[in-house]
Structure 1
């Protein structure tokens, strides 16, 4: 059960939202507030997972409330609802970290879809918290784990005693250092983390690697010791060298973010926050890229008025049903974005969603597809992917045809690929390419249709096959591991035991007894 705070000065609107929550048995404990001031008091004195607020309210509007709520509770999931087309509000909301928008009047389907997404985020965070607590209990006596925990606390800005840092002999707060963040699109560190760490000495031959810490399946951080010779030009060269080294070694695209020099835990925390903000710019690149915590990637600063010019031109062509001209303007808009990569991604997706809605309205058909197409837009992970989605709608409308494959049929195709190719090194990206979807959207659709993540399903299917082969054949365990897609026999045995609680040999013995 999660806690939600519903804020609206109109009682009838609050009651309507409560009714939807009750009707569909959403796992939410509801608290109501009729003003931003009252809501802020609740947030100061209680714990909430979700804030659902109207934008237009007297005295303290929804945006001010969202801003102050974000300062109070950084992990709070914020959802705002407002009238259609309020771009000024969208521009402000992107700086606050709003999770979702809902248009008024609220449609039941849209509300349920948004709440499902927000509840999924809450559940994932809760699972991550429980998982981390289990790791802490299991490895709290290990020195390396303690070092990683302290490093993560420093990055997150958590309070630490100086003796904790001294006892672990962490030199990152004693010597000038540089932070290097490696971010992959796939769950790279799930399977190749150890191999990645082994390459670090070769990648940093001129520097002492002070510390290395894995942040999650997608990201790891390296702390290197600075010397006086590392100027701005040298930092650029280091970034380019790392980009080519990682890409060539692992044949995977990577986003690398370099910090400014740091020599205190406070500076480390601030640089990490800036690096997380800068990493949003990776959306504008289809290949490996080097970014900087200062927010510069050698591109010029964005001019919002330029974007609004293109938007106005696209709107005009769509209203006149000049789809070909609208398509040309979209091409020019995305060309400009490719040159100037500083338009906030959240705002860009909001703009594209609005353009898509106007296309539907202009054509007077296929309105039932709006939620699905909007979902495609918000699930896009690169600028090229977003452009492809929008252009597909434009050109297909020019031909008065739009066909969207149904989710159930798509998942059937995906399962067919998994069941046939589980012995191979299949990934989310590989399967997404097979069914002509973006990896991020396929991931969302797969979990929505099956109730579990793509990788969790693949792992479960492989282990079920392995268990069957162990108990019903005489195949060697090493051969079975390869048969179900694991080239490393020791790794297979390790994760098999984690999955079943028994080693492969024990499972075979139990099956034969």
Structure 2
């Protein structure tokens, strides 16, 4: 048995011949994801949404014959493994097959031993190519890291272009912000981190919706460079997510410094110098883990907009009983204005009074007089630390109330259902959904069944099938397009699932209801 699945497209106008290949694949237990086409035109159409690694094609077919199809495929996919099988023992066909770098030319009826030998050889070739590709990717990653190291150490992009004339250095201009992640001890070189690095990177990719490049600088420091251009608030939220991932996986808090926006490869060194300098503040800021020079590159209107969004998020957190996010967003707002001597203290007091009002409005002993008294307190305090302590005390009182009355399982299930309904076309798995609501996969699976009466996979399938049915009845999209739109990569499996759900194939369902 092989260790993974390979995509194969079987093209023949005779269904019996296609069935023979399916039978032999099952007999020899080849792990193949099989799709079929009845003619050359259908092959080329399927290739718009389905890219197999292996094409097993007849020579004589309607519309486009096997040679014509293979010729077109060779232009688009030079590494695809092509196998011809034909009832014609014709030298010209064999010669054309060889010119297209076909793996083999098998005569019908297909000899089982020859089929087994050919497929085994093809899969070995694919494995070898994947290993080579993986090695090249790793080597390219090492070289990119080396280039970035050089830029951080103030080597100019002009000099690097001369040193590496064959390498495209355009990627260095794509970064616009960076995070410096700092631990007080040697962490990134530790056995603990190395053993769990893949898990960390997977969590990071799943939870951070951006293109980034992660690079270890030394045992206690790493950088994350971002290519996207989001609001500063987004970067603060992302820094909070990364800090949480580190804590959940390693039970350690990381210090994260956020750079200002920058353009150009030569600006990376200055951005790194900037974030290193910002991290010096951690000596004076006990309990604070996220740092940034927030106001140097944003306007006052942007500050107001970001604060308004943060306050709205806090209100939403309370309404959803999302205690973790409530605590995180409150900390972000407090950290944003701690040690901010460049802003008016009147504005800071105004924002924090609004925050306090939101927290108090949702407590059981809410009274207007209490809110007014709290506001007076905010304006009477002499130091920011006093305001911060007052707000955090109020926050913890509110959280205790939320914990007492919250229905955490029901809330988690509601969030999962909402996510599935919105992202049914994306990759969905129990692990991905569990990460969204900060539960273990097994616990989420159990409470989902208890609360809804069905398993998560069944629920995902029902949503996707309903969306597919809607698209069949309301659009002219092709079956292959609908398949991809609702989150399936295998058309045959999609059609089979649809038929199991509604008793008809997608095509017959569309025709019978229009």
TM over 0.5: no
When normalised by structure 1's length, the TM-score is 0.29
**Larger RCO: 1 or 2 (CA < 8 Å, sep 6+):** 2
When normalised by structure 2's length, the TM-score is 0.29
